[in-house]
Amino acid sequence: MASNDNLALSNLGIVSASGYEEDGLQRAHSRHSQVHGQEFENASLPKADGGKHAWLFLAGCFCIEALTWGFPFSFGIFQEYYTTHAPFSKEPSSIAIIGTSAMGIMYLGAPFSFALLQRYPLHRRHFAVAGLAIMIISLVASSFATRVSHLILTQGVLYAIGGSMLYTPTIIFLDEWFIARKGLAFGVMWAGTGFSGVCIPFLMNWGLNEYSFSTMLRVWSIILFLLVGPLLYFVKPRLPVSPTSHSRRLYWGFMRTSTFWILQTGNILESLGFFIPNIYLPTYARTLGLSSISGTVTISLFNTTSVFGQVILGFLSDRLHITTVILTSTIGATISVFLLWGVSTSFPLLCIFSLVYGLFAGGFTSTYTGSIKEVKRVDDRADAGLVFGLLAAGRGIGSVACGPLSEALLSKQPWVGDATLGYGTGYGLLIVFTGISAMLGGTSWVGRRVGWV
């Protein structure tokens, strides 16, 4: 256990993010070992990588992940509703920005949240509570919206700020609770998004059809309060923080390495197209003459296999070189877009695409733990939390850019009447763009072949 704690504190870089005084803690461990022996060490901290407290913590993270991210990842259901119902149907070109803003800003806010939590380590749990409160306020406020711009500010921007504040502390705490099984633990936590995505689209589709968007947004705010609030009790740090601890200056030297930038480049390029199917599958299904429930099913199938994708890629990240894991995701996602979505003109084919794309593309973020490990291999002073935050911000760049890019591509429709199958439906450029984006996500594998990683 002592070796695991030392690994958590020094090798993974969370010392700086948590505000510990490394030398003092190491001296304390040494003194405790001399006086009380291994028995005291085992009793001083909860067990890492297993045990009741670790698994309860991971279960809490899974549920918080599901409830926080599952909502914006199911935005395609809201997008279909907003584009077909007044008063928002008057501004269809701006509706996609709501969902991409929510996801993008949650990702983009990660570096700032990590910096704040490093500066004020004693307030991490308060940070999460404040984030939950902001999310609830944003949903209630958006239920009174009368224009798309109101939804962008509330359901998009404000929700994202609260979500980032709630989500970031779980990353820091999880890095303390799981060391040897870190990739698997992150995969399990991130699988929460896919798990909730199986249920939330059906719930939202039913509620929007039976009631209204305002009712569903208020109901979801109540669900967040009742479920996430109690779970915050279990999401707590494993390692103690001294009341007198001080943060150290952020170290940015790892950003001068080619390893970081190759991994980050592939991450950004993959994210540019990753969100497109999740946003447009419901409207694509409607273009094919399918019912609204068909679009809901496709999103649920995508999220179902994303659960397995997150866990599998996270598991592989603990055992294989990270560029190999990324290549696995890249090949599966690229083939699924060009050969399945591109030929999908019926509900069964669209379902097969959703299943395969979710399995391979849906687990891409589980590669972040391996990317962090690779960056720390070339620069052991790199802070794990900061590297994670920058990778998340890179994904946010793709998410934010995805909205206006997809709207521009969809407005052109150059192949209607000329191409066949899915490529001739008006979504042809979107399909090609998504496939190219997925393929470029494997940039890091090429970088390793030429010695840049």
Higher confidence at residue 265 or residue 306?
Answer: 265
Residue 246 has a pLDDT of: 57
Residue 419's pLDDT band, with cuts at 50, 70 and 90, is confident
- 47: exposed, middle or buried (Cβ count in 10 Å: 0-12, 13-18, 19+): middle
Higher confidence at residue 307 or residue 334?
Answer: 334
23 and 76 inside one domain: no
Chain-centroid distance, C-alpha 243: 31
89 and 150 inside one domain: yes
139 and 7 inside one domain: no
Residue 114 has a pLDDT of: 83
Quick one: which of 275, 297, 272, 276 has its CA closest to 286?
297
User: Lowest mean pLDDT: which of 2-6, 184-188, 329-333?
Assistant: 2-6
90 and 15 inside one domain: no
Residue 247 has a pLDDT of: 57
Domain that holds residue 323: 52-240+249-449
Residue 242 has a pLDDT of: 66
Domain count, the chain: 2
Quick one: which of 411, 196, 440 has its CA closest to 337?
440
Asked if the model's pLDDT at residue 45 lies above 60, the reply is: yes
Share the mean pLDDT of the chain: 83
38 and 108 inside one domain: no
34 and 137 inside one domain: no
**Who's near 83: CB < 8 A, 6+ residues apart?**
89, 92, 95, 283
Domain containing 75 — which CATH number? 1.20.1250.20
56 and 40 inside one domain: no
Chain-centroid distance, C-alpha 60: 16
| Span 162-181, average pLDDT | 88
80-105 pLDDT, tens digit each: 888 888 888 888 878 878 887 888 78
| Span 318-333, average pLDDT | 95
Q: Are 148 and 213 in contact (CB under 8 A)?
A: no
177 and 291 inside one domain: yes
Asked if the model's pLDDT at residue 227 lies above 80, the reply is: yes
Asked if the model's pLDDT at residue 17 lies above 50, the reply is: no
How is 224-238 classified by DSSP, letter by letter?
Answer: HHHHHHHHTTT---S
Asked if the model's pLDDT at residue 371 lies above 90, the reply is: yes
Calculated CA dihedral for residues 251, 256, 262, 263, nearest 10 degrees: -10
**Who's near 55: CB < 8 A, 6+ residues apart?**
none
Residue 120 has a pLDDT of: 80
- 31: exposed, middle or buried (Cβ count in 10 Å: 0-12, 13-18, 19+): exposed
123 and 170 inside one domain: yes
Give the whole-number percent of the chain exceeding pLDDT 90: 34
DSSP 8-state class, residue 90: G
Residue 364 has a pLDDT of: 93
Residue 50's pLDDT band, with cuts at 50, 70 and 90, is confident
419 and 296 inside one domain: yes
22 and 75 inside one domain: no
How many whole angstroms separate alpha carbon 106 and alpha carbon 113?
A: 10
Residue 26 has a pLDDT of: 43
Residue 244 has a pLDDT of: 54
Amino acid making up residue 117: L
Calculated CA dihedral for residues 93, 94, 100, 104, nearest 10 degrees: 130
Residue 178 has a pLDDT of: 87
How many whole angstroms separate alpha carbon 96 and alpha carbon 301?
A: 21
- 30: exposed, middle or buried (Cβ count in 10 Å: 0-12, 13-18, 19+): exposed
| Span 148-156, average pLDDT | 92
| Termini Cα distance of the chain | 32
DSSP 8-state class, residue 164: H
39 and 66 inside one domain: no
How many whole angstroms separate alpha carbon 374 and alpha carbon 357?
A: 26
Residue 295 has a pLDDT of: 83
